[in-house]
Structure 1
Amino acid sequence: MGSFPDIRTQLGDYADQFVGFLDTTFESLFDLIFFIASRTISGISDFLIWMPWWFFILIVILLGWYFKSILSGGLYGLFIFIIGTFGLWEDMMVTISLIISAVLICLIIGLPVGIWMAFSKGFSNVMRPLLDAMQTMPSFVYLIPAIFFFGLGNVSAIFATLIYAVPPVIRLTELAIRGVDKEVVESAESFGSSKWQTLRKIQLPQALPTIMAGVNQTTMMALAMVVIASMVGASGLGEQVLVSINRIDIALGFEAGISIVFLAVIIDRITNGVADKFQKHRGVN
């Protein structure tokens, strides 16, 4: 069988030079991002670890009760208690702090970008292929620039998680804004409302349930990166899974893995409950 001609393109070299240019030109910016991100993650994790275990479980039970049912709240509290009995309490808190930090950054970036895409067809056409690439590219590829810019640790994990998890909230924000009844928007504009007033008082409230669905998807995708992010030095439950793989420790692997599943169930149900509450409130109004 014939082989493909040995012709090597320079595209990879150009990508390498571009990343090197970014690192050299924006070194101070990356240092600032590293400082802010590391302090944020440390602050959230330290606060969660400082919080009494029973108080945190009580908060989870109350959230489950308010957004789902009292039975769900009790079950979520039991899940958290079981994770504590595994001896993974601090690892769970670090994982939660990573998820919170990643989701906050995703919302800060994703919501404005989604709104901009909803109002600009040209910008939307440019962003969609980029979002497709971000969602289809293998997750491990994100770890390379993360390590290059920020070294090993939790900040690199946040950077890699951001690339993977931000597309859903952008896409669903755009979809939600575009899906608002045009007659309602035209009525608001006919009464003299500016675009900002129409967005704030009409479009965002109408679009909120769909946006919350995007927040739910982004949160779940951030949680899905926990184990992969441990490969760049991220601590937490993902690190314990990685340790169990290296040691072939079935007991630790099961406990850390089921803990991640418990967290996924709790986060998914509560965020879905938040979306349902918004949907019901919208229906009442």
Structure 2
Amino acid sequence: MPKIPLDQWIEKLVSFLADNLQFLFDFFKMVIGGAVGAFSWVFHLLPFYVWIGIFAVIAYLVSRWGLAIFTVIGLLLIENLGYWDHTMDSLALVVTSTLISIIVGLPLGIWCARRDGVRNVLTPILDFMQTMPAFVYLIPAVTFFGLGVVPGVIASVIFAVPPTIRLTNLGIRQVSAELVEAADAFGSTPGQKLFKIQLPLAAPTIMAGINQTVMLSLSMVVIASMIGAQGLGADVYKAVTQLKIGEGFQAGLAVVILAILLDRLSQGMMKKDKKRR
């Protein structure tokens, strides 16, 4: 049986896109690079102790003293180990990836909830995006966008956006049919039903999807460093390649602290939202 030349087809497709849509990729590179640079500038604008205070206040507001104390101790440890600047670079990458994932994922999730055909088409695509090894995404990303932080963000979005789409779709579909019928009976428009009934009631499920997206974006930090993205991932990657176990543990610990902080903050926001309801 002759072998299917799938690899050649993929390479021809990538070459075709690179030759004919480079202007579009350059535009995305400028926008995404500008966004990462802007967030990085903001996170480096204030001294570390000011940001620690800001994060501690946010942690207290969403989860009281326990998370606030952990925030102060964890971030002070990161500063003491000398990874503050790189942590802020990684945070800028995660924030940018998460925002893009939300901007893309929420409308697609709403569309899936309204159209079974769209859901049936997108579901296998999302399965493919989540199960394909993340390293594979780096190859076309580098081809289209070159080395640096932008292909890392693109790969992060591809890997991290499926939970937002899936759980937005699930949350809206779980809204009581009786409530939707009552809204129809009172003459609500589709937009009114969406923004006043479905999205508010689906908010906890949607926030759970966003929480997963944040964590998946952070998990791509180390992988993105392989193609030039700066931050904690670059420290971990350098330690691995040079077999520096101690430095690798320190950089990895900074990633863990940042991951726990982002996870607890997003979960605390979800709990706050539930209490208001």
CA distance in 2, matches of 1:26, 1:51: 39
Which of 153, 168, 187 is residue 173 of structure 1 equivalent to?
A: 168
Is 1:13 aligned to residue 8 of structure 2? yes
Residue 127 (1) aligns with residue 93 (2):
no
Matched residue, 1:270: 265
- Tell me how far apart the structure 2 counterparts of residues 72 and 28 of structure 1 sit (CA, whole Å): 45
TM-score for the superposition, normalised by structure 1: 0.95
Q: Superposed, which structure 2 residues align to 1:74-113 within 5 Å?
A: 74-113=69-108
- Once the two structures are superposed, the pairs formed by residues 1-285 of structure 1 within 5 Å of their partners are 7-282=2-277
- The Cα offsets for residues 194-250 of structure 1, whole Å up to 9 and x where unpaired, read as 101100111000000110000000000000111111111111000000111121112
Distance 2:193 2:272 in 1: 23
TM-score, normalised relative to structure 2:
0.98
User: Residue type matched to 2:149 in 1?
Assistant: N
1:55 Cα shift? 1.1
In structure 2, how many angstroms separate the alpha carbons of the residues matched to 1:245 and 1:185? Answer: 54
Q: What residue identity is the alignment partner of 2:145?
A: F
Whole-Å separation in 2 of the counterparts to 1:131 and 1:71: 37
The secondary structure found in structure 1 opposite 2:147 is coil
Shift of 1:117: 0.2
Q: What do you get for the CA RMSD once the two structures are aligned?
A: 0.9
Query: Residue 75 of structure 1: CA displacement?
Result: 1.2
CA deviation profile, 1:16-52 (whole Å, cap 9, x unmatched) = 1111122222111100000111111111101111112
Amino acid aligned to 1:59? I
Gaps of 5+ in 2: none
The worse-fitting range, judged by mean Cα deviation, of 168-177 and 225-234 is 225-234
1:69 is paired with a residue whose SS is: helix
d(CA) in 2 for partners of 1:237, 1:75: 20
In 1, distance between residues paired with 2:66 and 2:124?
A: 43
Task: List alignment gaps of at least 5 residues for structure 1.
Answer: none
The percent identity for this pair of structures is 42
The letter for the 2-side match of 1:17 is K
Structure 2: distance between partners of 1:29 and 1:36: 11
**Secondary structure, aligned partner of 2:226:** helix
- 1:71 offset after TM fit, Å? 2.4
Q: Matched residues in 2 for 1:172 and 1:280: separation? A: 20
Partners of 1:71 and 1:156 lie apart in 2 by 37
Distance 2:253 2:106 in 1: 32
Give, in angstroms, the shift of residue 72 of structure 1: 1.6
User: CA offsets per residue over residues 246-271 of structure 1, 9 Å max, x none?
Assistant: 21112211110000000010000010
Shift of 1:8: 2.7
Cα distance in 2, alignment partners of residues 137 and 157 from structure 1: 16
Using the TM superposition, name which of 164-173 and 48-57 deviates more: 48-57
